[in-house]
Amino acid sequence: MSRCGACGCFGEVLTRKGILEAGMLSKILSTLANCFRVPELKSRLLFTLGLLTVCRVVAMIPLPGLNGAALTQFLQEVQRNSGGNSLISMYSLFTGGALERCALGALGIMPYISATIIIQLLGAVVPSLSKLAREEGGRMKIVQYSRYLTLVLCLGQGFAMALGWENPQSIPGFSSFQDRLVIMEPIWWYRIQTVVLLTAGTMLLVWLGEQITERGIGNGVSLIITIGILARLPQTASGVYYMFRPAGGGDGKNIFHALILLGLLVAVVAAVIAVTQAQRKIPVQYAQRSVGRKVVPGGSSFMPLRVNAAGVMPIIFAQAILMFPEKLLITLGGRFDQLAFLKSLGTAIAYGKAPYLMMEAAMIIFFSYFWVATIFNEIQIADDLKKYGGYIPGVRPGQATSDFLHWTMSRITLAGAVFLATIAILPIILYRILDVPLDVASFFGGTSILITVGVLLDTLRQLESFLVMRHYDGFLKKGRVRGRF
């Protein structure tokens, strides 16, 4: 190793650091190469990539009878002027841009996600669904119910979307749209054809997602959403190029701004990874018990409680609700003279202003606790522990265990909720205050970064398990990639 003549050690440190970085890079490359040496893993990877390509094709095929080019140009203007705070912007994010193109997959996978959420919420209030979920084979029936509900939602949302494209001026925010979208006659044939094609596109995406889950790598529905988000990377790259364009002016940013943004991106991704994988391990001790003529020995284990158990749902709920108050107050204040003060109130809570950020943060914290309350049943967990002879050391079984789990989950949920609120308002601060383009700022937080990081971690866990089963080294030298669930 080389040594520096000035201090005698600096050169050695740099050399060791370079060797370490080169070794890590070579390990990652060799691990990726090992993924294609395992026949089963190779077939799963190629199968997943093939179906994801089909999903992107579905998002590109335009629907017949519509002037998609005019709508694409107008929607880009709407998203630019609204700062991304519109229902169209959020829906376009989950459809991978298919909505902007009037494509076959314009409904995206959202009807299936909505159906799954509805069934899950009903399971918390309908005893029969909750009981069915715990029975053998009950999960398959619940999935089947979700598919039926998805079909109903697709028909309803498809018909509403067809009517919206037929009369775009009636949609809030589309009053300035002058072009005619529907170029097909008769009008009822256009409606029936559009509803059928949109429903078929969504059900095809659902089927492809299930095939990826069964025969591919990771959760298929999550991968479809992630690939739609990553499809916006070229648009983001063009925004970054415009910011730092050396010739032609750009946005007045220099190399120091670029370094700051790069460091912020690394810090945000690292924080999201840390919080996504963070969990509180509750020790559980099992006593020795008799099952028939067999004696089951006791043992110790732990119960993982995730810090961010709610995932990305609180941000989606909060942003979806906050899209309407501003427009509703401004509309009422403009139409009725007696309610003119509502117009100024709507302007005060406009997107990006301090009251809006405070309301969004408060709603994210509220929905974090609401969502955790629907998916985490501490009473059932305490009863199951007592049933199988398990207990938490230092805590009595039964009601005391339930209270302890409720108290613990409430504390760690607060940390996860505050983190979600910070991640949600970070892109707004970058866009409104630091003048970062919207396409670039959206990758520094919000739903995009949370979904992408979570799905990629889950995919790495799947690859890690396949490699370890075949006696190959995984992506990490020590430890394993923990899953999201």
Specify the number of domains making up the chain. 2
If asked whether residues 221 and 343 sit together in one domain, one would say: no
Per-residue confidence (pLDDT) for residue 50, from 0 to 100:
93
Residue 40: pLDDT band with limits 50, 70, 90: confident
Residue 319 lies inside a defined structural domain of this protein: yes
So what's the pLDDT on residue 312? 84
For residues 278 and 179, membership in a common domain is answered with: no
Render pLDDT for 262-279 as a digit per residue (tens, 0 to 9).
Answer: 888 888 888 888 888 888
pLDDT, tens digit, 9 for 90 and up, residues 198-241: 999 999 999 999 999 888 887 888 889 888 888 888 777 777 77
> Between 471 and 110, where is the model more confident?
110
Question: Which is nearest to 447 in space by CA: 225, 208, 274, 221?
Answer: 225
Q: Between 289 and 303, name the one with better pLDDT.
A: 303
Domain hosting residue 123, numbered range: 40-231
Instruction: Write out pLDDT tens, residues 338-375.
Output: 777 787 887 788 777 888 889 889 999 999 998 898 88
Whether 25 maps to a domain, the answer reads no
In this prediction, residue 292 has a pLDDT band, given cuts at 50, 70 and 90, of low
Between 244 and 427, whose confidence is greater?
Answer: 427
Dist CA 364 CA 315 (whole Å): 6
Higher pLDDT, 160 or 482: 160
More confident residue, 125 or 422: 422
63-76: per-residue pLDDT in tens?
888 877 777 776 66
Among 45-54, 109-118, 188-197, 292-301, name the one with the lowest average pLDDT. 292-301
Please tell me whether residues 323 and 422 are part of one structural domain: yes
22 falls within a domain: no
Whether residue 162 is found in the same domain as residue 287: no
Confidence of residue 14 (pLDDT cuts 50, 70, 90): very low
Highest mean pLDDT (candidates 134-138, 243-247, 402-406): 402-406
Are residue 193 and residue 314 in the same domain, yes or no?
Answer: no
pLDDT for residue 45 is more than 60: yes
Long-range contacts made by residues 459-463, C-beta under 8 angstroms, separation at least 24? Answer: 459/217, 459/218, 459/223, 462/217, 462/218, 463/35, 463/41, 463/217
Computed from CA positions of residues 27, 31, 34, 36, in that sequence, does the dihedral angle turn out positive or negative?
A: negative
Q: Is the pLDDT of residue 384 over 80?
A: yes
Does residue 5 fall inside a structural domain? Answer: no
Mark whether 307 and 182 lie in a shared domain.
no
Q: Are 226 and 262 within one domain?
A: no
Is 414 in the same domain as 304?
Answer: yes
Q: What's 119's domain CATH number?
A: 1.10.3370.10
Same structural domain, 94 and 174: yes
- pLDDT, position 198: 92
Q: How many CA atoms lie within 13 A of 341 on its CB side?
A: 1
Residue 57 domain-assigned (yes or no): yes
**The pLDDT value given to residue 169:** 64
Rounded Cα–Cα distance for residues 86 and 136 (Å) = 43
Give the residue from 93, 157, 150, 90 showing the smallest Cα distance to 118. Answer: 150
